[in-house]
Structure 1
Amino acid sequence: MDSTTDATPDLSDHDLVLNFESVGDNCELGLVQRLAGAEPLGLLRFAGAPLRSFLRALSNRFDGIADPASIRIHEENGEYMVKLNRYDFYYHAHIKTSETTPEALHAQQSRTVGFLAQKLISDLESPSKILVFRQNEPLLAADLMDLRIALDRCGPSTLLWVQAACPGHPPGTVAVADGRLMIGYVNRLAPREDVPNLHLPSWLSVLRKAHAIWRLPEPERVAAGRRMADAMRRHQLTFGTDGNAGPHLGFGWSGPEAGYQWSVGERSLLTLPNPGPASEYWLEMDVIPYIHPPLLPRQRLDVSVNGGFVHSFDPLPRAMVCCSIPGELAVGDAPLQIRLDHPFAASPVLVAGGGDDRRLAISFSRLALTAVP
């Protein structure tokens, strides 16, 4: 990897996370910062801030957000929650009900909220941090465009949009859309009902790589993103009569067919060359489970690597499915033994009729393993 994008290895996690500020839509980044030992001030750091509400607040420059009449204090599970009614923001006060009164907290919040709103405006007008946005639900292209336009009206900010890893984008990686927009991929986004259940290692990896790109002059950022992508090592298998998977297959496979190959019986094995040291590997599989309701409503697929259990897909969808493999499961230069358990394999003769007596489980058309630097 080019030294200009060496992901700032000497920067501590504490110092790293201070370079980022949340612009929605919940407190996941704020908790990442806390886990890294940092407690920066930020209006939206611990707030539930829906995108459209944030855009409305931004267009009004947060006018009236600190009006005492629009600040509400609620008790929930022994702690105080704060609701900023003017713009529909909601956040934990991180103060237990036994520690103060609602009236005292209301007075404190009436002072603090106005200060934090002005601080955010100042940070947007003179950017010194990377802005971070995440949202569990799919983000409409129009919403992303509205967010970028609103931020650009304030100043030349750089936005990091954090998503869950998906095919082609392993956890811990960063894609550069243009000089002012990066897309970071974490292992998973924390569920709304349990935000502390976040994946810290992939968050820190994304923040570190995004920070390294951000430090470069804007015209060089896209090229730096490409260099990072090129640094990933990838093995790809295609199945079927014209594919390259044959030499890698062990037990539990039927013969190749046009564009795919069936795993059969209760388990199957494939072997891949060792992709070299990595903190994590990303496995993608393009699959179609053999099902025939009501007798065979689903298939399950359990993945193990070199004897270590990795992930269970239950039920296995007809889709491209992905999972992370811990880097420590790759030992030295030894090949990776990937065992696929599929206990619901069944013969079409028994569940659907006809003449096919193979115990079919899952049809594979493509598999890829990526080493994430």
Structure 2
Amino acid sequence: MRNAAAARLSERLHGFRSLGDNCEFGFVQRYGGVEPSGLLRFSYTPMEDLIRGLRCGFADFGVPGDLRIAVSDGGTYYCHSVAYNIWANTGHPAGSIDPEVLVEREYGRLAHLKRKMLDDLADGSKILVRKVGRDVPDSAFERLSEAVWAHGPSTLLRVTEAGPDWRPEPARRAADRVIAGRVRRFAPTEQAWEVDLEPWLHLIDSAYALAHGQAPTDLGAGAFADALTLPGGLRRHAGRHPTQALSAYTRAVDPARLGTDKAYVFSTWVWIPETFGGERIFAVAGHGRLGWRDADLSRRGCWQRVWAGGRMRPNVDREPVGLGMIGTKRDAFWSFGARFHEGPIPEEGAAPTIRMPPARFPGRRLFGWLRSKLP
């Protein structure tokens, strides 16, 4: 079954719960197609406050007077626990609801999620995820682990940054009930939705397999079923405007033929010449973007993969799938190996072996060549 890889990734994502830091792992799960509930899933949670809360079972979390509504810099209502300095994203834009009404709802919602978290900790069946920055001492994670294990036998996943040279690698067992792994980068603190999804899903799959004695999911060629067959040959894309503007190289697809309950990915390899002066090259796959990797404009004269994941909206006639560029008509780039398939991330694969795409034949040179052939 060619869609088994996507189903397995979703199933494994359900086996993890966030220990806060910020909302990034909550978005990892969302972009991967799952929405488990969790007290800290969309919460900013400083390490020391988290340890303090775990040690007492968050006894004062949500008691009368503990919760306050505040507006974030991004214009969203957050619910702040004064006792433990936990900032929970309510999902409500500022001004969309009366703060007094909202805080009463949050008392009930967060009380339920606190009980559920304590039950999960006692059960120990979920893998608990915590990102660890370079400035966090090992002793802090050790104290966090001890605070978790006071409740039950949970396994912790310690996540660190590998940097731009990240490549898929297996998670490793760092200690009894501690798994360690790396992603390329963390999302910015205030833009936690800007997830670098591909490394995260590789790590989650590998960590789950290690914890449960199973094989990692095969994410190589053929892992995901094609949703639509696209021309995969070499193509040149040139800008269409005299000034910096969006040029789209997409095709319209019918959501009714694909289904609106699945994630889809458009991916392709792009080659950017040294002379490129545009601002951005990116992919699109339906409405919104559940995960993506834009072109790195600092990489010239080589192949790199760009991709985007998305969903199809119901009740719309067409959705765009393909590439976009912000640049002028003097800017151009090449693409090769376009795919549009089900799943949250692109399949693994090697870069094209085409070293240097052919330059476009200038009109004057072509005219001169034709004249030279005339009798």
Residues 202-226 of structure 1, C-alpha deviations (whole Å, 9 max, x = no match): 1111111111111129xxxxxx89x
Contact 1:161/1:184 (8 A) holds in 2:
yes
Residues 277-307 of structure 1, C-alpha deviations (whole Å, 9 max, x = no match): xx9xxxxxxxxxxxxxxxxxxxxxx655745
- 1:175 deviation in Å? 2.1
- 1:121 deviation in Å? 1.1
Q: How does 1:278-357 map to 2 (within 5 A)?
A: 306-308=302-304, 330-331=351-352
Q: What SS class does the counterpart of residue 84 from structure 2 fall into?
A: coil
**1:56 maps onto 2:61 in alignment:** no
**1:187 maps onto 2:202 in alignment:** no
Contact 1:70/1:85 (8 A) holds in 2:
yes
Q: Distance in 2 between matches of 1:132 and 1:74?
A: 26
Contact 1:305/1:329 (8 A) holds in 2:
no
- Which among 78, 101, 114 is matched to residue 104 of structure 1? 101
Contact 1:172/1:202 (8 A) holds in 2:
no
- 1:91 deviation in Å? 2.2
Tell me the equivalent position of 1:26.
22
Tell me the equivalent position of 1:95.
92
Tell me the equivalent position of 2:204.
207
Give the partner amino acid of 1:16. R
Contact 1:303/1:309 (8 A) holds in 2:
no
Q: Distance in 2 between matches of 1:131 and 1:309?
A: 31
- 1:309 deviation in Å? 9.3
- Which among 168, 171, 174 is matched to residue 171 of structure 2? 174
Q: Distance in 2 between matches of 1:303 and 1:33?
A: 30
- 1:335 deviation in Å? 9.8
Residues 168/174 of structure 1: CA separation in 2 closer, same or farther (3 Å cut): farther
Contact 2:20/2:42 (8 A) holds in 1:
no
Q: What SS class does the counterpart of residue 171 from structure 2 fall into?
A: strand
Identity among equivalent pairs (%): 30
Q: What SS class does the counterpart of residue 10 from structure 2 fall into?
A: helix
Residues 104/148 of structure 1: CA separation in 2 closer, same or farther (3 Å cut): same
Contact 1:136/1:191 (8 A) holds in 2:
no
Q: Distance in 2 between matches of 1:182 and 1:42?
A: 21
Contact 2:129/2:157 (8 A) holds in 1:
yes
Tell me the equivalent position of 1:134.
131
Residues 192/158 of structure 1: CA separation in 2 closer, same or farther (3 Å cut): same
Q: Distance in 2 between matches of 1:303 and 1:30?
A: 31
**1:143 maps onto 2:140 in alignment:** yes
- 1:39 deviation in Å? 1.6
Q: What SS class does the counterpart of residue 65 from structure 2 fall into?
A: helix
Q: Distance in 1 between matches of 2:143 and 2:208?
A: 24
Residues 327-364 of structure 1, C-alpha deviations (whole Å, 9 max, x = no match): 65523xx5989xxxxxxxxxxxxxxxxxxxxxxxxxxx
Q: What SS class does the counterpart of residue 194 from structure 1 fall into?
A: coil
- Higher relative contact order structure (alpha carbons within 8 Å, sequence separation ≥ 6): 2
Contact 2:163/2:185 (8 A) holds in 1:
no
Q: What SS class does the counterpart of residue 190 from structure 2 fall into?
A: helix
Give the partner amino acid of 2:20. G
Tell me the equivalent position of 2:116.
119
- 1:113 deviation in Å? 1.6
**1:216 maps onto 2:216 in alignment:** no
Q: Distance in 2 between matches of 1:74 and 1:167?
A: 35
Give the partner amino acid of 1:183. A
Give the partner amino acid of 2:19. V
Q: What SS class does the counterpart of residue 38 from structure 2 fall into?
A: coil
Q: Distance in 2 between matches of 1:305 and 1:119?
A: 52
